[in-house]
Amino acid sequence: INGARLIMVATPANAHGDIAEQLAPFLKDDQIIMLNPGRTLGTHYFYNLLEKNGLKANVIVAEADTLIYTCRLVKNGLCRVFSLKKELHVAAHNPDDTQMVCELLSEFYDVIVPAESVLETGLSNLGVIFHPVPVILNIARIEEQSTFSHYKQGISPTVATFLEKIDNERIAIANALGVKVDTAVKWLNRIYRTEGDTLYEALQNNVAYTEVLAPTTIHTRYIYEDIQTGLVPLSILSKELGIENSAMDCVIRLASMLYNYDFYLNGRNEGIIDFQKIINSRKVAISR
């Protein structure tokens, strides 16, 4: 990384901890670390871990709201890119740096859109809604090695209604923090031009999801990434804000019991992120 201006971190977000730990001693002033994507509170988490691991340099950490490519690994070392996203929303940890980071990225990609803050990118984390719960509510079927469409068969009307509950908790957090985000249904309507007023209808009408199969193992990033880097920080935010978080909280607890793994303890929790400070600085920003 010596001499690199821009360091692109394009891993599932649950690897960010290891990467920050290994990067910290080698970073130089003015290097930009770009998380693709940051998931929820990614730059906060990454910065804190850099500092815990001996960061001396003055670096910029930024994040995107999603991975720019829709792609899958074909085999080790070979990745198939299906498409490039139509928009990539990007924010630097310090909003003053966002413009500069976006200009730099725009040299390589023509879909970069500056986001207001990392709360905007982080609260637009839809993996949290679409990934972990359908795995959990189809866990026997996945373990049986059944082949089925994650979105069309895995998300039945009852599952979709429950996902809407989780989505409502996410939207309530965004509202409380004065951050504009789309509901999952509106996001589908906007990005995929799907029709439908309910999440179930929108998902069933989304042709792009037809062939997206469910994970072939229960040990998948749909669980480890999306719970630790999405549901956990969102659940803590909602608790700190005094917002109902029964659905998110229940999923974290159930997953921890099913997987015999403490997602909360291993997630982006209060031990690593100062949630109250984030909330307070946002209140100051809103009141300005």
Instruction: Give the residue numbers annotated as catalytic, written as ranges.
Output: 131, 226
The smaller minimum CB distance to its own copies, of residues 106 and 156, is found at 156
Give the count of residues interacting with its own copies (CB under 8 A). Answer: 29
Residue 143 CB, nearest approach to its own copies (Å):
4
List Cβ neighbours of 157 (8 Å cut-off, separation of 6 or more). 200
The smaller minimum CB distance to its own copies, of residues 98 and 204, is found at 204
Binding to its own copies (CB under 8 A): which residues in 238-257? 246-247, 250, 253-254, 257
Q: What DSSP assignment string belongs to the chain? A: -TT-SEEEE-S-GGGHHHHHHHHGGG--TT-EEEESS--TTHHHHHHHHHHHTT--S--EEEEESS-SEEEEEEETTEEEEEEE-S-EEEEESSGGGHHHHHHHHHTT-S-EEE-S-HHHHHHT--HHHHSHHHHHTTHHHHHTT---BTTTTSS-HHHHHHHHHHHHHHHHHHHHTT-----HHHHHHHHH----SSHHHHHHT-GGGTT-BPPSSSSSHHHHHHIIIIIHHHHHHHHHHT---HHHHHHHHHHHHHHTS-HHHHSS-TTT--HHHHHHHHHHHHH-
Site string for its own copies, 187-226 (x = CB under 8 A): -------------------------------x--------
Q: Token pair 């709201």 is at which residue?
A: 65
Identify whether the C-beta of residue 1 lies closer than 8 Å to the C-beta of residue 26. yes
Residue 255 CB, nearest approach to its own copies (Å):
10
Task: Report if residue 112 touches its own copies, rule: CB under 8 A.
Answer: no
Task: Report if residue 161 touches its own copies, rule: CB under 8 A.
Answer: yes
The smaller minimum CB distance to its own copies, of residues 74 and 257, is found at 257
Residue 161 CB, nearest approach to its own copies (Å):
8
Task: Report if residue 99 touches its own copies, rule: CB under 8 A.
Answer: no
Task: Report if residue 279 touches its own copies, rule: CB under 8 A.
Answer: no
Residue 210 CB, nearest approach to its own copies (Å):
15
Task: Report if residue 159 touches its own copies, rule: CB under 8 A.
Answer: yes
Identify whether the C-beta of residue 63 lies closer than 8 Å to the C-beta of residue 89. no
Residue 61 CB, nearest approach to its own copies (Å):
36
Residue 13 CB, nearest approach to its own copies (Å):
24
The smaller minimum CB distance to its own copies, of residues 253 and 277, is found at 253
Site string for its own copies, 138-157 (x = CB under 8 A): xxxx-xx--------xxxxx
Task: Report if residue 136 touches its own copies, rule: CB under 8 A.
Answer: yes
Identify whether the C-beta of residue 135 lies closer than 8 Å to the C-beta of residue 214. yes
The binding site for its own copies (CB under 8 A) comprises 134, 136-141, 143-144, 153-159, 161-162, 165, 218, 246-247, 250, 253-254, 257-260
